Structure formats: C-alpha cells, structure tokens
Amino acid sequence: MKTDPNIIPLVFFGTPSLVVPILQKLTEHFQVQGVVTAPDKPVGRKQILTSSPVAETAQKYGIPVLKPEKLDEEFIKNHLPFLNADLYIVAAYGKILPQQLFNIPRLGALNVHPSLLPKYRGSSPIPAAILNGDKVSGITIIKMDAKMDHGPILYTKEIRMSDQDTFDSLSIKMFEEAAEILIEVIPQYIKGKLTLKEQNHQAATFTKLITKKDGFFEITNPPSLDKLDRMIRAYYPWPTAWTRWNNKVVKFLPEGLVQMEGKKPVKLEEFLRGYPNFPLKEL
C-alpha cells in the first residue's frame, strides 16, 4: 500500500546510476521534495557536459534538482530549508555532508551504506569486501552524524557474496535491495519503532578512495591467481586490474578476458595466440 506522501516529505542525496532504484522507490512511496546530486561533468571523447544519472531520473519525475559545486554554509542556508523536507536520504552522494545539513530536517538524515558497519567505513566498501575474499557483506542504514559512517544503526541486512561478483554486479544487487529495505524502514523510523544502536567504534575498519593506480601490478611480479581474480572483480568496471607490457596497457576483465591497449577484449587463450611472449599464461 502506498504511504501517504503528505506524511514523509524528503530530499534524496545521490549521484550514480547504482542508486537510481532507490530514488525510483522513494518517488513511488513518498513525497520527494528535491534531489541533491553532483554537478554536470564532461563525458566521453567529445567531453559533453552531462547530468548525473540521479539528476536525469529526477527530471523525468519532475523533481527539483540541486547540483552544488560545494555544500557550503551559504548554499545550505539559501536552498535546503526551502525544500521543506522532514527527512534526508543519502546514498552514494559522493561528498562529505556537514553537520549543519542534518540540523535542517526535523528527522535528520539516513544513510545507506553498502557494508555491515562498522566494517568498511568510507568510500569503497564493496571493492574492499571483494578484495578481502569475504563471503558475506550487507546493507546498513544509519542515522547520520558529523563523522563519516559513524552514526547509530537503524537496520542491517546481510547479503551473500558469490565468487563471481564484481563491483558492478554486487553494487547493483546491494542498492536494489536497499531500495526495498528503505520503503519498510522509513515508516518504522518515523513512528519511532526502530531502536538506534550505537556502532562498536573500536571495531571500525576504513576504506580509501580508489584510484587508477590501485588496479596496477607489475607484469614481472604478478599477484597470485586468487588475488588477481579478486582484483579483476573488485576493480571492474573501473579502474580495472591492469599492467604494462611492451609499453602498452593491458587490462584484465571478468570472465577471463584480456584487453590490449587499442584492441577489443578477448579470452586469454586467443590473446596468447596473438602475443605468445606475454608472461602471464593463466587466469
């Protein structure tokens, strides 16, 4: 049954395509007063200025969109209060939110985090789980405070990982599940039926921002096959696991594919027929 949209007006903070299912679900069940997302960015070879997937989705629904370069005091004061939201929902927005922001809606802000907090706080919990060979990860909904991924927990759900999961596939799985979770959790939170549980901060672990360099390995000293498999899956579709050979970039992709710079991805067997001297003979 559709929740009365007049009860829970909210604002959604998010950016990539992975969290579009969350915005769609929120729009179906609640009154989304506005969306805050990353500014337009140049995309592709022609560097065409392009809106984020969340912005494009919001525009289709006729939802007002804000794209601040900085979430500073002036922007917050001049824009956020006028959206008249009772609650903020945050999922992969891409910037740290200041405490001032959480003081505006009467119910604060809830964050969707793709790990079982306090494990893997920070910007790359999904690659971290794959790289570490975890069998279980999950979704955590927290009430946000001034520190990163630090606030009390409202809800957690474990999600099984497979040895085929990539960053891409696991992210899709997690955020689609999170969309379903939120439509149940938000009304319970509003009614005060959920107990906030403080995280065990002593047990917290942290992840870092992924860079292009993280996917690199020396072809003369490659990782073990198991570690390489985890790198391939954790860093797909970006930055990929990659190396340099004969002054060319060689990328390693899921399903046993290898891509020479300027060429199409092929299976390793076919790659080795074209480049028989390539040092890595198995994946």
Q: By percentage, how much of the chain surpasses pLDDT 70?
A: 98
Calculate the CA dihedral of residues 216, 205, 142, 109 and round it to 10 degrees.
-60
Name every residue whose Cβ is closer than 8 Å to that of residue 237 and which is 6 or more positions away in sequence: 166, 167, 168
Would residue 2 count as lying in a domain?
no
Q: Is the pLDDT of residue 3 over 80?
A: no
Q: Are 203 and 118 in contact (CB under 8 A)?
A: yes
CATH number at residue 116: 3.40.50.170
Pure H helices in the chain:
20-29, 53-60, 73-79, 99-102, 125-131, 167-190, 225-234, 268-274
Asked whether residue 194 falls in the same domain as residue 242, the answer is no
pLDDT of residue 6: 45
pLDDT tens-place string over residues 208-242: 999 999 999 999 999 999 999 999 999 999 999 99
**Same domain, yes or no, for 126 and 256?**
no
Per-residue pLDDT at 1 exceeds 50? no
Residues 101-143 have pLDDT tens digits of 988 999 999 999 999 999 999 999 999 999 999 999 999 999 9
Tell me the residue range of the domain where 20 lies.
Answer: 9-206
Shared-domain flag, residues 234 and 113: no
* Annotated binding residue 80: no
- The tens digit of pLDDT for each residue in 154-195 reads 999 999 999 999 999 999 999 999 999 999 999 999 999 999
**CATH number for the domain that contains residue 219:** 3.10.25.10
Residue 48 backbone dihedrals phi, psi, to 5 degrees: -75, 130
Q: What is the pLDDT of residue 146?
A: 86
Residues 64 and 177 in one domain: yes
Please indicate if the annotation marks 117 as binding a ligand.
yes
Consult the annotation and say whether 116 binds a ligand. yes
118 is in an annotated binding site: yes
Q: Which residues share a beta bridge with 143?
A: 110
Q: What is the mean pLDDT of the chain?
A: 93
Residues 168 and 262 in one domain: no
The band of 40, judged by pLDDT with boundaries at 50, 70 and 90, is: confident
Boundary-marking domain end, from 157, 177, 206: 206
